[in-house]
Amino acid sequence: MPVQRYSDYPENVTEQKNMNPKIIFVVDDDVTNLTVCRNTLSPVYNVFSFESGSLLLKRLERQIPDLILLDIDMPEMNGYEILGRLKKMQSTRDISVIFLTSKIDAESELEGLSLGAVDYIFKPFSPPLLLKRIELHLLVISQRNELVDFNEHLQEKVDAKTKAVVELQNAILNTMTKLVDCRDDITGGHIVRTQRYMEVLVNEGIEKKYFEDDLLSCEISLLVLSARLHDVGKIAIKDSILLKPCKLTEDEFDEVKKHARFGEDVIAEIQEESTEHKFLEYAKILAGTHHEKWDGSGYPRGLQGTDIPILGRTMAIVDVYDALVSDRPYKRGFSHEESVSIIVDGRGSHFDPMLVDIFLSIADKFKDISECSRQA
């Protein structure tokens, strides 16, 4: 039976055969080998035969196969040279190539594998073995392509999952924020404003190198977001105290002080059920330490100086500034200038001296945030 050669195959052979679309190119200058390969493989695959490397390269300009069976010993261009050319071209370098050879020495096999061949099939062929080897290699190729496709889309999947987690986190956070704001509605937007103040003050602290040892390893976006939970402990305070339209008694103030500890406890419980430890750790520090004072007269632990976490020392300025400029039932809000003066007076007693200096350098930004929030 004469072998069908390159020029004998119609361009629409795949459509005519209506078979498995896997395409195999066979390159060999021996007509008998081409015949064996074609008779063995064509019942299952679309097989194209080429008697030289030049014919193969010409065909590759317009069609890329799934697999190439390539003879090594050919007169015009040997298999090693052809494979070298394939690996240099972007369009062909990923095609799997199996060498066809009668050489059985390890040196020849190593050379071919080093050039990028995936396997050797030795002549003379055993048709059943040839078919099975091709089947296995095409399976590997298919799995490799699936893995490449998966990896290419993996980042998209990770981004989508991350976005979903962040959206859920923000939804829960916004709900808790609204819950606190509703219980303490006299402060009107206090939580959102303090988050914005916090971002400005933290970034300036990093710029001034004051936070270098403490916050450079922090994820600033998470830290700023966690500031929204600094007053979550107010959920536990009675309305009669929280909404009292006049100055609190000493006992009532003692009850209010408990919100710092309670906030820590609430966040700690959430931590036990969550893997998002950084965000919640920041939130717990802010909730539990933003009422501590530099001179040790604050609450709930009476921490002093740098024993107070820097996050708590930062939040203290942010929290007090907004309380000063806000109207309360028992007082009118102070002006920005008056509020800044009060914070300066607390330098070294209530507040970290260095943080007060940093605050002063960007106090106008606090004023802008406050005014924009109240005009909205």
- Over residues 107-122, the pLDDT tens digits come to 777 777 788 888 888 8
pLDDT bracket for residue 362 (50, 70, 90):
very high
Q: Above 60 in pLDDT, residue 186?
A: no
- Over residues 278-309, the pLDDT tens digits come to 788 889 999 999 999 999 999 999 999 999 99
Q: Is 261 exposed, middle or buried (0-12, 13-18, 19+ CB in 10 A)?
A: middle
Q: In 42-126, which ranges are continuous DSSP H helix? A: 53-60, 79-88, 106-115
Distance CA 34, CA 306 (A): 83
In this prediction, residues 170-196 reach a mean pLDDT of: 70
Q: Above 80 in pLDDT, residue 128?
A: yes
Could you tell me the CA-to-CA distances from 350 to 203, 241, 294, 301 in Å, in that order? 22, 24, 5, 14
pLDDT attached to residue 20: 54
Of the two residues 273 and 333, the one the predictor is more confident about is 333
| Residue from 225, 227, 254 nearest 238 by CA | 254
pLDDT attached to residue 359: 97
In this prediction, residues 182-188 reach a mean pLDDT of: 54
- Over residues 148-179, the pLDDT tens digits come to 777 777 778 777 777 776 676 677 667 766 66
In this prediction, residues 349-363 reach a mean pLDDT of: 97
Distance CA 362, CA 376 (A): 22
Tell me how crowded residue 333 is: count the other CB atoms within 10 A of its CB. Answer: 16
Whether 170 contacts 156, CB under 8 Å: no
pLDDT bracket for residue 3 (50, 70, 90):
very low
> Considering the chain, what is the average pLDDT of its residues?
84
Of the two residues 202 and 246, the one the predictor is more confident about is 202
Q: Above 90 in pLDDT, residue 223?
A: no
Of the two residues 278 and 184, the one the predictor is more confident about is 278
Q: Is 148 exposed, middle or buried (0-12, 13-18, 19+ CB in 10 A)?
A: exposed
| Contacts of 281 by beta carbon, 8 Å cutoff, 6+ apart | 271
